[in-house]
Structure 1
């Protein structure tokens, strides 16, 4: 068994820091009481709804067998257009982990660091299971996944949305599988869905969109809320610099920055710091197309070249009208930012200056939930 597909039937944030420069003149900071009222009402909603509310009417989820070669697994992720897949251990009859773009990034970095050519044979000799064990030994990351004395971080369809969101925040993972088993010992598990913060946020937006008055924070401009990471203003001694990339930055440098910063994506800007595009961890799977990873070096390929692999040959660099670059202004209401983040595949919204598109800050999914669930 290589790829497992399960039909679904409907049965019923990088820790951000706010720079004072985020506040515009004439935009006072929202009161703490308004934030607390919003938190209480969001908590009431999330506690009253469960994982079942995340399940679509129909669809499919894909799992990978742990004995599948790493090379083939990333071909599957790329072909299916999915960033993450649960891992199935047929011997134990359990879901035991997740395979994510970070795994592919670490594999490619490891091979390049040791001066090896990125040959197809090298990736084909390593199964997912072998890679996960090597990752645990090399990086000290067991991910609670493939060791027999640990269990996959997952949720049941009966768990509250708040509980699922907290699991995602506390573990720092992007996806939690929703698994159902009719047995008390968890045998014969059924994979129903992959829960994410964006799916939970979509539920929140849908519920409160027509009653924003009950959630005072939604109509407030994001610059008035203690939220996100902002480019420090000149003279701010305590500002936190925002990681950015140039189009000619090497892919190797970009991947190192993604891993070191612990973020899902980094903005790509021109010499004026105006937003052009973004490079995300999930973009790494584009290297599986036509086996590109077998004949390139990460330090010789630029970010621009890497992104072109996953785009149509005639597409311009920077897809502002698509899902890649989600932008808002600092004067936009929080609801608008939340609705952008509720789109599948979107993890961060970039706050830009009107007209110039100069990057002023970034708000992530985890930023939103840390604000609402504190």
Structure 2
């Protein structure tokens, strides 16, 4: 193997192609071994900030190469990359046809043959991919999203606001449907965005909302308060907070996804409404885009050859929000903040940009952390939020307040997820299908410099042609 930068290629007349190999499945030590190393083992290094992702860059001559990984002493191959059976067992393969500054996404097709990563898919192939996905989503029902077991939490509208947000934090959920016993139905939702608005109201010197009122103020009183309706938010936000968006178990999952996208909500309650009079509606599940995406990934994982669009690197398809280039002066910049920014700035940006989280970066635009809507509900576990000055507290200080040193998970909870611009769309979809993951931050390998953000809604707007 010839490390990048050697003069071997120039002296021999061979053009060497810097090629990135990535093992994203964890391990303590990972090596790569292949035809280009003489089947000796070469050490791979973990990606900074992603200890489960190992990578290395090799300079290879054009042509056909075979390779395997050695993970903690065990020979492995990547099932998501092209592979064949050879004298060395099951091996991955790569065909390099021309120069490239990264290893593009290469995946096997259903018959085991190689897919050329440099081939630009045609409009017909793209439409074929989207058609297969649309047919699947239109013919599978919401009840298929229900887990075999689990719990669904609903809040009574007569519950005090302060207690309700403490429940959201302790249960680790971003929102909960609201049940009105007097009406015998679900009437809305309480979410982290409500708590953000309450925090802003407490920080407003002209507010009539006090700590004492929060102790006794019910959810219904908060929702109906005149100060709430007079708040300086636009009509779309008021609509988002003021009515219940739900689906039935017999709705197809395309309808579920469209309801989430069109109403800009994180989840949609799946509610069964009995036809008999006198029976209460049943809350079955809270459906999210990640659950729909998990269903898609599980169904299409072994037939990627039918979906060329899912094999393309995310940088080559119209998804996500990217850092503007110099030649794009009119493009809206990515919403990021420094650790020294005020908590007030973070809350305002979460509401105005209508995003679930904001990357926190250093002076080099490298990723340090994120501040999300769910972080603000951590302040509901005690009375600390009442004494916070939003303009004086920094994001760094707010994140420290939300830490729980007594948590059984300690500080090992993964707060955000990253990907590379060269990752194939299907790999990005698999990451976003994990519970609680709503955005992937696209970073530069090594430096963790932010290059863009891909969200669940970005993926579904592309898949549904919106």
Between structure 1 and structure 2, the one with the greater Rg is 2
User: How far did residue 308 of structure 1 move?
Assistant: 2.0
Q: Residues 240 and 264 of structure 2 are in contact (CA less than 8 Å); yes or no, is this contact kept in structure 1?
A: no
| Paired position in structure 1 for 2:346 | 254
Trace 1:86-165 onto structure 2 (pairs within 5 A). 86-114=177-205, 120-134=211-225, 135-138=228-231, 139=233, 140=235, 141-143=237-239, 152-165=244-257
| Paired position in structure 2 for 1:20 | none
| Counterparts of 2:128 and 2:440, CA distance in 1 | 25
Q: Deviations over 1:113-170 (max 9, x none)?
A: 2256985313124221122223344344553776xxxx63210111100011111111
CA 1:337–1:118 in structure 2 vs 1: closer, same or farther (change >3 Å)? farther
CA 1:198–1:258 in structure 2 vs 1: closer, same or farther (change >3 Å)? same
| Paired position in structure 1 for 2:454 | 363
Provide the secondary structure at the position in 2 that maps to 1:62: coil
| Counterparts of 2:261 and 2:458, CA distance in 1 | 10
Q: Deviations over 1:255-310 (max 9, x none)?
A: 00111111111111111000111111111111112322122222222111212233
Trace 1:263-302 onto structure 2 (pairs within 5 A). 263-302=355-394
Provide the secondary structure at the position in 1 that maps to 2:446: coil
Q: Residues 323 and 346 of structure 1 are in contact (CA less than 8 Å); yes or no, is this contact kept in structure 2?
A: no
User: How far did residue 74 of structure 1 move?
Assistant: 0.4
Provide the secondary structure at the position in 2 that maps to 1:210: coil
- Structure of higher RCO (CA pairs closer than 8 Å, 6+ residues apart): 1
| Paired position in structure 2 for 1:3 | none
Q: Residues 86 and 177 of structure 1 are in contact (CA less than 8 Å); yes or no, is this contact kept in structure 2?
A: yes
| Paired position in structure 2 for 1:327 | 418
Larger mean Cα displacement after TM superposition, 268-277 or 151-160: 151-160
How many residues align? The count is: 344
Report the structure, 1 or 2, having the larger helix content. 1
CA 1:299–1:112 in structure 2 vs 1: closer, same or farther (change >3 Å)? same
Provide the secondary structure at the position in 1 that maps to 2:319: coil
User: How far did residue 327 of structure 1 move?
Assistant: 0.5
| Counterparts of 1:218 and 1:208, CA distance in 2 | 10
Task: Tell me the TM-score normalized by structure 2.
Answer: 0.69
| Counterparts of 1:184 and 1:154, CA distance in 2 | 20
Q: Deviations over 1:37-93 (max 9, x none)?
A: 111111111111111111111111111011111111101111111110000000000
Q: Residues 201 and 209 of structure 2 are in contact (CA less than 8 Å); yes or no, is this contact kept in structure 1?
A: no
User: How far did residue 211 of structure 1 move?
Assistant: 1.3
| Paired position in structure 1 for 2:28 | none
Q: Residues 251 and 301 of structure 1 are in contact (CA less than 8 Å); yes or no, is this contact kept in structure 2?
A: yes
In structure 2, runs of 5+ residues without a counterpart are 1-100, 105-117
| Paired position in structure 1 for 2:307 | 215
Trace 1:339-358 onto structure 2 (pairs within 5 A). 339-358=430-449
CA 1:33–1:133 in structure 2 vs 1: closer, same or farther (change >3 Å)? farther
CA 1:356–1:64 in structure 2 vs 1: closer, same or farther (change >3 Å)? same
| Paired position in structure 2 for 1:76 | 167
| Counterparts of 1:244 and 1:71, CA distance in 2 | 30
Task: Tell me the TM-score normalized by structure 1.
Answer: 0.86
| Paired position in structure 2 for 1:233 | 325
Provide the secondary structure at the position in 2 that maps to 1:85: strand
Provide the secondary structure at the position in 2 that maps to 1:350: strand
| Counterparts of 1:280 and 1:194, CA distance in 2 | 20
| Paired position in structure 2 for 1:200 | 292
User: How far did residue 31 of structure 1 move?
Assistant: 3.7
| Paired position in structure 2 for 1:51 | 142
Q: Which residue of the other structure, out of 166, 170, 174, is the alignment partner of 2:266?
A: 174
Report the structure, 1 or 2, having the larger strand content. 2
| Counterparts of 1:276 and 1:186, CA distance in 2 | 54
In structure 1, runs of 5+ residues without a counterpart are 1-23
Q: Residues 49 and 160 of structure 1 are in contact (CA less than 8 Å); yes or no, is this contact kept in structure 2?
A: yes
User: How far did residue 181 of structure 1 move?
Assistant: 2.0
Provide the secondary structure at the position in 2 that maps to 1:98: strand
CA 1:276–1:118 in structure 2 vs 1: closer, same or farther (change >3 Å)? farther
User: How far did residue 311 of structure 1 move?
Assistant: 2.6
Provide the secondary structure at the position in 1 that maps to 2:155: strand
| Paired position in structure 2 for 1:188 | 280
| Paired position in structure 1 for 2:127 | 36
Provide the secondary structure at the position in 2 that maps to 1:271: coil
CA 1:365–1:144 in structure 2 vs 1: closer, same or farther (change >3 Å)? closer
